[in-house]
Amino acid sequence: MGFKETLNKYFNNHSESRDNHWDKNLRTKYYRTTKDKAFDTVLRYFRQLPNCEINSESEKHGEISINYKGKRRAFIIVTIIMVKPYRTAVDFSITTEGGLFDLGFSHNLIPKLYKALSKELQELDQQEQIY
């Protein structure tokens, strides 16, 4: 991790996952399931967490917005898109409330959420992720 990446990780209050992220832990995860099943699983997961409050959900657009009230307060948007049959992408966008930076909180929360979801959904292997 270079100087620019270190600054971006610790001195920022927003982090997102994406396909070609410099941090491999924040790369989009693909699951062997349909969009509807992934959406329901993600929704069920966040509903059962006591420190999460679902603001809105749009199955049509594949988005769920959540207020996270854990160690720090954050706003989470989960995007679920089916890119091929039984190949569904899940991405996170997290913005921490208060202050100019969160010392890596939003950056570190994304891999934790992916780890929890991977227990619920069947993650595709890295080789299968390449188009």
Using the Cα atoms of residue 66, residue 68, residue 73 and residue 77 in order, give the sign of their dihedral: negative
Q: What CA–CA distance (Å, rounded) separates 23 from 18?
A: 10
Q: At what angle do helices 105-120 and 35-47 cross, to 10 degrees?
A: 120
Q: What is the pLDDT of residue 131?
A: 42
Q: What is the pLDDT of residue 105?
A: 87
Q: What is the pLDDT of residue 14?
A: 86
How far is CA 8 from each of CA 89, 100, 103, 114, rounded to the nearest angstrom?
24, 12, 10, 20
Q: What is the pLDDT of residue 127?
A: 42
- Does the 3-129 domain belong in CATH 3.30.565.10? no
Q: What CA–CA distance (Å, rounded) separates 36 from 60?
A: 10
Q: Which parts of the chain have pLDDT scores under 70? A: 1-11, 124-131
Q: What is the pLDDT of residue 111?
A: 95
Ordered by start, the domain boundaries in the chain are 3-129
